[in-house]
Structure 1
Amino acid sequence: MPRPDPINRSNIVNADTFQSIGDLAAGIIGNIEIIKPANRQEWLAARKRDVTASDASTLLGVNPYKTPFELWAEKTGRKADAEDNDVFRRGRAMEFIAIDFLREDYPDWKITHSYNNRYFRDPAGRIGATPDAFVSRPDRKGRGIIQIKSASDYSVKNWIDPETREITPPLYVAVQALIEAELTKANYAMVALIVSGHGLKLHPPIEIPLVPKLMAKVRAEVADFWRVTDSGAHPDPDWKRDGALIEELYEPNGEVVDLSNDNMLPVICDEKARIATEKTAIEKRLKEIKAELLDKMRGASAARIADGRLITAKTIERAGYEVKATSYIDVRIKKAGAAD
């Protein structure tokens, strides 16, 4: 895989300790580089060479928003970085509000908002992180990191434990906080959730356990990801989640390939044909049932049947519109001996 252009080394200077991290321009903490990007573009470029804290959970199979195959496509330049979309823009805006709320609610905490102006990376492990904030608390030794997350009134349900009904960070969020603490040499890690809807509510920060075994697992999975990627291969795609990306990446090029050694393909092709036949039969039967129901109702808008259920019929008006030109890949299976 081609490497991104090296980061300007003038942005990296020596630093002996973690002291005054909020004021540190850039430096090195042990084996960790601290990079100070001049702008968002430099920050995105710095992240390109690493698996970042927000993506590492993908390799553990616990990230609901991204697959290892999608991560590979991003890191190899085949897909645009997902960090630059409307959802993430909203999250960045909410981050400032959450920091203000934290300072109001916890006036004795010393909170330093990072906001993408420090990127921490382990060059050997090719893991990176950008903590949202650093904190010093009078009741705790050392320093910690605070990861800010935002949710809507609707999506906050993903944070509610089904048994306790309490706000509980999802595992992929906990993994991100763990990595941020590891790379910044923090003594503790917290996650603060701000929920937007009819108002704004900041939930009390939740501490994330720093589990060395989990961090070791993360490092092993990241190392394997780069080993596979650097060899020119890619992680196995998830055909349920990666279908759109696969179609985007593999547009037909006119070639004919020999897949006769893949013994699963005849089985899959038979299944496709069977499902297509069943789908046609089902759609046809549904139309017949609809016609029979409307015939029996004779224009009525509703009908009560013997078991108490109610059948309703309503005319749906559909506004006219112009269909924009689109394209898709049509996959068909021809009989043996047919022309290519």
Structure 2
Amino acid sequence: MADIKFVDNHIEIDKLPKKPKRLTATRFATVMGLNAWQTPFEAWCAITKTYEDPFEDTIYTIAGKVIEPKIIDYLNKTYFMDVKSPEDIYGQDYFKKTWGNFFPNEEFFGGMWDALGDDFVVEIKTTKRAEDWQDDIPIYYKLQAALYAYLLGFDTVIVTATFLEDNDYVQPELFEPNHTNTVMFEFSMAEAFPNFEEDYIKPASDFWQNHVLTGISPDYDEKKDAEILKVLRTNNLAPEDDEVAELLTEAENLKAEIELIDEKTKPLTDRLKEVQDALKRYMSEQFRDGDTKVELTGQRYSWTLSKSVRKSVDSKKLKDDGLFDQYAKESESYTLRNTVIE
């Protein structure tokens, strides 16, 4: 992870990676704020390799991979198309052969189309949300296909949507596309996006120039980007000198020994807590008017329960009245915790 600096509502990185990730179709609409599931800041973090969740296949991605060849075969047999898959054109292991990019001559756009005809591109989608496709292709997916058509110099775009049930994700190999579970949309770039370059290519290019090449992120959203910001705001250290390394080793050894002792005494400490809670309940009932303490004397210890009355500020009421910021005071505190490294 590059060294980062938080400035206002964005971050700045000290240096760019040698090869930023490309502005693929899945990031294309995202950087313009047209993705309901990701933010431009998240896309920027991935492109600049500042932060990205490690990719893990899910039932949804696995189903998509298994069903995609079935859709290509379905289009060829049902609609008498001549649609080719990436494997038909690049051969097996096409991802490794192309480094996951079918547009090596582009400066920063890239990605992989799903299928190709002689003069059209095909984008294949699987989803559970049929309601999103009632009127038209959702703009996020439509722009994915449109970008590939633009890069290929095609006007015709075909997008298929295959609607899956829960069981299809469990056994995608058994799924068979048909006219009830798979619909096909076709559009012309000239008609659907008559000003595609000005409306979409230029803003995406501006994003690259203004944010990727400068190392200055777009503004983040504290709520939508909360998980990423939590990681970025954590400074992960490794011991840089012998003294710190020795202290760290000693702390870990001491903690391991204490944990062994705690494990042996746990039944006793658990029971002691139960007994003390019972004594506390009894003693709290013995306060007289004006008392501030109740003492219970045993053979080895004297047990004292103190009572104090504290006044607290109703911060919600202050916020509602617009006075909270006027009287709020910031203070710093540091808490040292440790977690087991898996």
Q: How does 1:1-340 map to 2 (within 5 A)?
A: 1-4=16-19, 49-80=21-52, 84-86=56-58, 87-107=60-80, 109-114=81-86, 119-121=101-103, 125-136=107-118, 143-152=119-128, 155-161=129-135, 168-197=136-165, 200-201=177-178, 202-210=181-189, 211-227=193-209, 228-251=211-234, 273-274=315-316, 336=329, 338=331
Q: Equivalent residue of 1:239, what SS?
A: coil
**Count of matched residue pairs:** 211
Call closer, same or farther: CA 1:336–1:3 in 2, change over 3 Å: same
- Specify the code of the residue in structure 2 equivalent to 1:208: F
Higher helix share: 2
- Specify the code of the residue in structure 2 equivalent to 1:205: M
Deviations 1:171-223 (A, max 9, x none): 01111111111111223111011122166544332113312413333222222
Q: Which has the larger radius of gyration?
A: 2
- Specify the code of the residue in structure 1 equivalent to 2:17: P
- Specify the code of the residue in structure 1 equivalent to 2:71: A
CA distance in 2: counterparts of 1:179 and 1:84, whole angstroms: 26
CA distance in 1: counterparts of 2:205 and 2:137, whole angstroms: 26
Q: Equivalent residue of 2:103, what SS?
A: strand
CA contact (8 A) 1:129 1:179 kept: no
Q: Equivalent residue of 1:80, what SS?
A: coil
- Equivalent residue for 1:44? none
Could you tell me the percent identity over the aligned residues? 22
CA contact (8 A) 2:30 2:40 kept: yes
CA contact (8 A) 1:58 1:68 kept: yes
CA distance in 2: counterparts of 1:177 and 1:69, whole angstroms: 22
Tell me the TM-score normalised to structure 2 length.
0.54
State the Cα RMSD in Å: 3.3
Q: Which consecutive residues of structure 2, in runs of 5 or more, have no partner in the other structure?
A: 1-15, 88-93, 168-174, 238-313, 321-326, 334-342
Call closer, same or farther: CA 1:89–1:83 in 2, change over 3 Å: farther
Deviations 1:124-169 (A, max 9, x none): 6511131111124xxxxxx1011000012xx2222223xxxxxx21
Call closer, same or farther: CA 1:274–1:85 in 2, change over 3 Å: farther
CA contact (8 A) 1:135 1:145 kept: yes
Tell me the TM-score normalised to structure 1 length.
0.54
